[in-house]
Amino acid sequence: MTLQEIENTHQDAAKRIDDAEVSQSIALISRLVTELGRGDLSDELERLRMSYTFMLKYLEKGVMDPQRDEILGDIRQSLYTLNDQCYIGLMEPLSQDVFYVRRRELGNTSMVNIIEEYRDSLKQLSLAQSLPGEQNDSHAILSQLRQTEALETKLFNRVWSSFPLSHDDAGSLKLCINGDILPVHTRCLLVSALMLGLMKFYDESKLLILLEAYSLSDDSQVQLRALTCAMLSMHAHRKHISSSKDIQSRISAMMDTPDFNHDVWNIQAQLARSRNTENVKQRVRNELIPNIMKMRPDIIDKLKDKDSQIIDLSDIEANPDWQEWLDQNGITKRIEEFNAMQHEGSDVFIATFAHLKTFPFFKTLSNWFLPYYPAHSSVLENLGADKLALAEVIQHAPYLCNSDKYSFCLSLGSLPDSQRSLMSAQLEEQNAALSEAMQSELPDERKLRVGIINAFVQDLYRFFKLFSRRREFIPVMDDPGLDMTDCLPLAQVTRDAHVLELLGALYFKNAFYEDAIKCFTRLEGMDDATDDHIYQKIGFAYQNAGKFDKALTYYKRYELLHEDDVWNSRHIAACYRAQGKHEQALDYYRRAEALSPDNVSLVLTIGHVLLEQNRTSEALQQYFKADLMEGARHRAWRPIAWCLFLLSDYDRAIDYYDRIAYEDKPSPQDLLNRGHVLLCQGNTQEAIKSYRESLQLMEYDTAKFRAAFKGDAMELRLHGVSAVDQSLIPDVVCTTQ
């Protein structure tokens, strides 16, 4: 069989098992077994074939078997494993995927032997580090440290590339992860290795170890990483686990763990936020950083004292003028936006650190999952053994994930000593301030757990998005439906009414409307969801998803219960308007106006709907009404001016455009419209002058100007501006400035 034939047969067999087409899947797997030529797998396939044949015969004879579903589930699960074993056996000698490369490198190396070798290396390292100062050999210690880390990597590779995990190996891993015979960072690596293996091939024993680690480990990092890895694995293999009684039993037992519901919710929330990471990345890169950097020269000038020394930003409150200047220039607002995103758990630093993942450190797969700790060789080599204080400062940086902390250390290693010392002093000062702030707060264990989850999800996001060979794994972070409410074993937690409401709001905030709809509609059918506003939430989600008919259905349900709701009437009107049903829209806007007669926005909107129906005179009267209302703040001037232009009342239209220029800040569109009025008056020179002012505000984007001018071609034509003049004027404006 060719590689493509092997691939196709393996995928087809898996799909047949998914669809419970057992006979067809057995026939396909038989081809793989024959090609591989392994007697043990051939025997296993024959055993499964016989079990399935007997089950069919019992069914044919009408024998009632209460365990039939369970037996069928076991047969299907065994077929999944056998299918993957055959596939791995055929691909291993041929493929250059990192999974198969590691299997070839390790061969039959025993996991137990690697663990023992690693533990011996840890003892030797501890002995070398415990020698008195005069006998302490830093080079020997660093060499031993590198050897120990190499064994960590070897153990990681052995765990994730094992399939299926043997009973003995599973027992060894449980002892290592749940006990204290290995350092915490190594136990965390083993947890990640199990997940990484599951992202290649489903192995229920690996998933069960992860779930057990959450229940039995005495370390929060190990616990929460294990639960996160288990949830991602269950999501990736939803079909495999849907009928697994062992998985369901384990999760049922975990329900009694005090923090379980809280942890599941926080993992789900952070995974939901991770789907918005690219948007956050673009916002930080394109909005926050450029706006602050543009002001950098001014910042430096402003923050100098009389001796030309740069003043510490922490002393800003000492001079109110500086704070006022920062406020006026938008810097305070940008910093507040950045801080708000940080506090919400958004991944604000990926834009900064993404390009720092090219260091050789990140060529080693296991390092993407390594918890940051100051004693790692890469930290010591880049910061120096005498800079342990700086390494510890980085360790406690509250918003950096582990991967970014290593990136930071590696980048510091390339700085000159003077700059590194300066940064060290600044970081140490910040660490002292942070420690003081932490001491003033009461310990919050749950807050610490949320921090661990957020950092680990960010580590995972970087691996699945930035690792050079990421395409060889299930792209779990690319899944637009990364939603644990679809994971049946967790449904009792993830489909809780309170969780669904919070999750729906989170999805909606990040514009994941389909997921918000799914959460809210599930909430609709629950006894706990007694609030009628659920209909409005579902309607609003459908409206933002562009499904106006469905939005109207839910808004009308709410209307039956609460007829006099202004918000509801406005949104019904907006849906009708989006559908082009202006009469129905106008009717509902009028209802809303009757309920809220002082609402300027409603009065203006009614004017807009009338204008869309070409009822210009009625629209103008509506705009005049809005202009007389308290709080209008000139909001009606622009539509009034445009209506006057459409009605050929050019002098009054110019008057309003001049008012806008004098009392408000004119936009490019205002100046363009003013030019139209002047042009229709026959005042071509003044019109061209106004057009050029519009072009200037468009930053001389001639294509944008031409498109805007062309967009008003019909109105200009109706007011007597010939097609020839319309074709010439943009050239005059854009080419003879």
Contact predicate 482/271, CB 8 Å: yes
What gap in Å lies between CA 89 and CA 576, rounded to an integer? 60
**pLDDT at residue 179 above 80?**
yes
d(CA 536, CA 541): 8
Q: At 310, phi and psi to the nearest 5?
A: -70, 130
Cα distance between residue 203 and residue 680, in whole Å: 76
- This prediction's pTM: 0.80
* Interacting residues of 345 by C-beta distance below 8 A, sequence separation 6+: 269, 270, 273, 450, 454
227 phi and psi, to 5 degrees?
Answer: -65, -40
Q: Are the C-beta atoms of residues 68 and 55 closer than 8 Å to each other?
A: yes
Which of the 8 DSSP states describes residue 478? G
502: confidence class by pLDDT, cuts 50, 70, 90:
confident
User: Whole-angstrom Cα distance, residue 448 to residue 456?
Assistant: 13
Confidence of residue 575 (pLDDT cuts 50, 70, 90): very high
pLDDT of residue 304: 45
CB-neighbour burial class of residue 344 (10 A; exposed 0-12, middle 13-18, buried 19+): middle
Question: Do 539 and 558 touch, CB atoms closer than 8 A?
Answer: yes
Gap between the Cα atoms of 196 and 280, Å rounded: 26
Opening angle at CA 277, ends 353 and 339, nearest 5: 75
Lowest mean pLDDT of 32-46, 158-172, 295-309, name the range.
295-309
Q: How far apart, in whole angstroms, are the C-alpha atoms of residue 549 and residue 581?
A: 12
Q: What's the pLDDT at 713?
A: 93
The answer to whether 141 and 128 have CB atoms below 8 angstroms apart is yes
Q: Which long-range contacts (CB under 8 A, 24 or more apart) does 426-434 make?
A: 427/390, 427/393, 427/394, 428/389, 428/390, 428/393, 430/393, 431/392, 431/393, 431/396, 433/314, 434/396, 434/398
Size of the chain, expressed as the number of residues it contains: 737
Adjacent-strand bridge partners of 310: 304
One-letter amino acid for residue 265 of the chain: W
Q: Write down the mean pLDDT value for the chain.
A: 86
Residue 304: phi, psi to the nearest 5? -100, 140
User: What sign does the CA torsion over 83, 85, 88, 89 have?
Assistant: negative
SS3 of residue 310 by DSSP: strand
Would you say 532 and 506 are in contact if contact means Cβ atoms under 8 Å apart?
no
Tell me the per-residue pLDDT of 43-70, one tens digit each, with 9 for 90 and over: 999 999 999 999 999 898 888 888 888 8
Instruction: Answer for the pair 612, 576: CB distance below 8 angstroms, yes or no.
Output: no
- pLDDT (mean) for 39-44: 96
Residue 327: is its pLDDT beyond 70? no
Output 424 or 391, whichever has higher pLDDT. 391
CB-based contact 347:458 (threshold 8 Å): yes
Could you report the per-residue pLDDT of 66-125, keeping only the tens digit for each? 888 889 989 999 999 999 999 999 999 999 999 999 999 999 899 999 999 999 999 999
- Classify 578 as helix, strand or coil: helix
CA R_g for the chain: 33
Q: What is the pLDDT of residues 422-462, one digit of tens each?
A: 666 666 666 566 566 556 665 678 889 999 999 999 999 99
CA-based nearest residue to 364, from 248, 506, 469: 469
pLDDT of residue 706: 94
Q: How distant, in Å, are the alpha carbons of 321, 448, 468 from that of 311? A: 14, 33, 42
pLDDT in tens, 543-571: 999 999 999 999 999 999 999 999 999 99
Of 589, 633, 634, which Cα lies nearest the Cα of 608?
589
Residue 309 has pLDDT above 50, yes or no: no
722's enclosing H/E stretch is: none
The answer to whether residue 684 scores a pLDDT higher than 80 is yes
Identity of residue 709: F
Residue 327 backbone zone (phi > 0: left; psi -120 to 50: alpha; other: beta): alpha
Residue with tokens 């009605």: 647
Question: In whole angstroms, what is the distance from residue 404 CA to residue 399 CA?
Answer: 10
Q: Which residue has the higher pLDDT, 347 or 310?
A: 347
